[in-house]
Structure 1
Amino acid sequence: MKAVEPVSVNVELIDERIASVVFRNPSRRHALSAGLLHALDARLAALAEQRVPVVMLGSGVGEDVWSAGHDLGELAEDRDPLAWGKPLEQALRRVRSYPGVVIAMVSGTVWGGAVDLAMSCDLIVADASARFTMTPANIGLPYTTSGLLRLFNNLPIHVLKDMFFCARPLDAAQAERFGVINRLVEREALQASALEMARGIAAKAPLAIQAVKEQLRILEDLQPLPVDAMERIAELRRIACESADMQEGLDAFAQRRAPRFEGR
């Protein structure tokens, strides 16, 4: 019997200015389990302490799935894995606030919360197998305002609605056209292209890049909302997370059947 490869987040220092971070959860299609996300958060925090200016992030080259998104097996105990203090949001904040450049190296399909992870990175290098699909509505999970804003800042509104309402994949060519992917390359050139980009960035002044990244993060987050709007959004999310539809979505996923949603 083949041994199951454990969940891991491994760091390799390519040189003093570039690190490669590879997350793996092979038995779950590299799903973002709480354990994996905590480990990713810790590895990035350690690299920030070491002042490594450039990080390349991925799950490997030549995989069919870059990441299946949030580990749905954990939703039985946590009906809202996207809330502010949860592991996924903590890891996304770590990526966005990392005091250097984080390059997502994407090979294979990207699902749900993993799309948010890739887009939270500063740059994306991908091959033609990359597909970005948002599937929360398939299980009745409402997405967060912060997550929607990250995608809203990167995509035309009707493309974003198509992704969320229809769960239609954004393929690599479309993603490049909309500016989501910075470099679209052949699969065999993916790692070399990401490393070439990383070396170019690493040769620049790190404090200047850090200052620009933080300014851009603050500007991107300047989306003031009235208190009553935030309360209304929170209530809509609470209703959806506690609904029978969400339980039906989780049951249907576990039973590998089409869900029967009733809007309650």
Structure 2
Amino acid sequence: MPASSSILFAVENGVAMITLNRPDKLNSFNREMALALQAALDDCADKAVRAVYITGAGKGFCAGQDLAEVVDPQGPGMERILSEHYNPLITRIRNLPKPVIAAVNGVAAGAGANIALACDIVVASEKASFVQAFSKIGLIPDSGGTYFLPRLIGFQKASALMMLGDKISAAEAERMGMIYQVIPEEAFQSHSVQIAQTLAQMPTAGLAYTKMALNAAAANTLELQLQLEDTLQQKAAHTHDFKEGVQAFIDKRAPVFKGE
């Protein structure tokens, strides 16, 4: 990926560790950071990467868009911010054939919240919070928010949170099904990274097919979804990891998966 201090990237034990790194701005997005994150996600196509872990530096996960860039007459403008920054990010997260974990360490607001919700698994520190901040400045939720949030928590809750802009604690987000799990602050980093490392050791080709099925489920009829499950299951059944999993079960030993 191109050099940028706004995104930190490393691969550890099969996990691509991505850190949003503008802590003085609560990791709010500008063009440089958005394009650097896109490049980092592209680098996750590498075979050595089996899972992706996204978190924020400092006290926040991501405060959304840096509004100074929005009002800058020399800035990219709202149209390019959506079409060139956020929409490609959401598309990359959903199309990446590997599990993507959002480890929300602090406030996740606006686009920051919705980028997290686009990930496959969202865990949060007990000190984290989520807010659909768009209505406070006369905008609509973007970055897939109007797509993902109603599917996670239902139309009424999503509508209210988007229109009122309520700040939701991590515990409340877990209770309403917005996120997978709240983790105590002192254990947050170690436990959230362990989840990513666990996923990286699993049969990730099968996880990729699961992700494909989930992506399609929102638009498919039951009949079409059953057909897709059939197609993807046949592909999964021809992977190395399926054969290894079955043989390990027969041999009463731990399987060694390759993601193939």
With normalisation by structure 1, the TM-score equals: 0.75
Q: Does 1:205 align with 2:200?
A: no
From 39, 47, 51, give the equivalent of 2:44.
47
Deviation at residue 211 of structure 1 after TM alignment: 0.8
Q: Does 1:70 align with 2:65?
A: yes
Distance 1:19 1:74 in 2: 28
Distance 1:111 1:153 in 2: 19
The runs of 5 or more residues in structure 2 that have no matched partner are: 222-260
Number of aligned residues: 214
Distance 2:170 2:68 in 1: 28
- 3-state SS of the aligned residue for 1:99? coil
Deviation at residue 192 of structure 1 after TM alignment: 1.2
From 73, 85, 105, give the equivalent of 1:107.
105
Deviation at residue 130 of structure 1 after TM alignment: 1.1
Decide whether the 8 Å contact of 1:59 with 1:66 is kept in 2: yes
From 18, 42, 52, give the equivalent of 2:15.
18
Find the counterpart in structure 2 of residue 184 from structure 1. 182
From 123, 127, 130, give the equivalent of 1:129.
127
From 148, 151, 155, give the equivalent of 1:150.
148
Distance 1:35 1:137 in 2: 25
Find the counterpart in structure 1 of residue 24 from structure 2. 27
Instruction: Please tell me the residue identity of whatever aligns with 1:10.
Output: L
From 193, 196, 209, give the equivalent of 1:195.
193
Decide whether the 8 Å contact of 1:54 with 1:101 is kept in 2: yes
Deviation at residue 86 of structure 1 after TM alignment: 2.6
Identity %: 23
Instruction: Please tell me the residue identity of whatever aligns with 2:180.
Output: N
Runs of 4 or more off by more than 2 Å in structure 1? 79-83, 142-147, 220-223
Decide whether the 8 Å contact of 1:34 with 1:88 is kept in 2: no
Distance 1:211 1:25 in 2: 34
Distance 2:148 2:178 in 1: 11
Deviation at residue 156 of structure 1 after TM alignment: 2.3
Distance 1:132 1:11 in 2: 24
Deviation at residue 123 of structure 1 after TM alignment: 0.5
With normalisation by structure 2, the TM-score equals: 0.76
Distance 2:146 2:81 in 1: 11
Q: Judging changes above 3 Å, is the alpha-carbon distance between structure 1 residues 145 and 91 closer, same or farther for their aligned structure 2 residues?
A: closer
From 162, 168, 171, give the equivalent of 1:170.
168
Deviation at residue 41 of structure 1 after TM alignment: 0.6
Find the counterpart in structure 2 of residue 238 from structure 1. none
Q: Judging changes above 3 Å, is the alpha-carbon distance between structure 1 residues 32 and 145 closer, same or farther for their aligned structure 2 residues?
A: closer
Decide whether the 8 Å contact of 1:125 with 1:193 is kept in 2: no
Q: Judging changes above 3 Å, is the alpha-carbon distance between structure 1 residues 101 and 182 closer, same or farther for their aligned structure 2 residues?
A: same
Deviation at residue 222 of structure 1 after TM alignment: 5.0
Deviation at residue 90 of structure 1 after TM alignment: 0.8
Deviation at residue 179 of structure 1 after TM alignment: 2.0
Instruction: Please tell me the residue identity of whatever aligns with 2:202.
Output: K
Decide whether the 8 Å contact of 2:109 with 2:133 is kept in 1: yes
Distance 1:210 1:58 in 2: 21
Decide whether the 8 Å contact of 2:114 with 2:145 is kept in 1: yes
Find the counterpart in structure 1 of residue 84 from structure 2. 86
Decide whether the 8 Å contact of 1:18 with 1:198 is kept in 2: yes
